[in-house]
Amino acid sequence: MPVWEEVRKVLDLLITQGQHELQLWGKTWKGSNNVYSKLNQSLGRQLIGIGCGAHIVYNAIKPAADCLPVDFECIILKIYSFFYIYSVRVEALKEFCDSSETEYHKMLGYSKTRWLALMPALERVIKMSQPLKNYFLSIDKCPNILKTFFENSTSELWLYFLHAQAATFHEAVLKIEVQNVSALESAMEINRLRDNLALKENTIFLPHIVRNRP
């Protein structure tokens, strides 16, 4: 029986046994209560643990984004929490949307376990950037971090720059996370991502909207 069929058989067995407490972590997770250890025990052979390709991508972009002059993770969470459950603030923001002829979109949060889940929230802030800026700079008790962000003329440029980079990583993750993708295919996709980023670095890539801003 091919190794993959053996692995599938063991995984099905683990599921049918109702081991919901099994921790789905990679080979670096200590202890024996994880999929990697269970497979080694059940198959009677030493598997080569290569980790999760998607998490490799996640672990690459997050520290890279932390090197930017703006903490977008903090900014987006601050904006989301500012409007979350506060209907009066939402209604006021809608008025600023009307005055700037921008369609209102509800602010989004994200799951901290996966940094690229921040991307939809990032896109939402981009779509609402002008009314958000007008709103926060008009209120008396604007959080200092948001006041500084919206007063800085380069903040929006960094916003577009991060979005362009995140989109490249996000595309790679979507290809890696499809069902039945092999380890070789994941490695090839990560190599393509690396080559893409190297090309952007060599050509001093800037998003079109950033390059053409006055």
pLDDT tens-place values along the chain, 214 residues long: 554 455 455 445 444 444 443 344 444 555 677 777 777 777 777 776 667 788 788 778 878 888 888 888 899 999 999 998 899 999 999 999 999 999 999 998 876 666 667 788 889 999 999 999 999 999 999 999 999 999 998 888 888 888 888 888 888 888 888 878 888 888 888 888 888 888 888 887 777 776 766 6
CB 131 within 8 A of CB 93: yes
Closest C-alpha among 167, 171, 153, 157 to residue 208: 157
In-domain check, residue 59: yes
Look up the pTM and report it: 0.70
Predicted confidence at residue 26, as pLDDT, reads 47
Is 201 domain-assigned?
yes
Q: Is residue 122 part of a domain?
A: yes
Q: Give residue for tokens 């007063």.
A: 151
Q: Note down the domain range covering 81.
A: 52-212
> % helix / strand / coil in the chain, to the nearest 5?
65, 0, 35
User: Does 193 map to a domain?
Assistant: yes
Residue 157 lies in a domain: yes
| Residue 171 belongs to some domain of the structure | yes
Q: How many domains does the chain have?
A: 1
Classify the C-alpha dihedral 22-25-26-28 as positive or negative.
Answer: negative
* Residue 36 resides in a domain: no
Determine, yes or no, domain membership for 153: yes
d(CA 214, CA 96): 24
> Which two structure tokens, joined as six digits, stand for 81?
């929490």
Classify residue 86 as left (phi > 0), alpha (psi -120 to 50) or beta: beta
| pLDDT computed for residue 15 by the predictor | 46
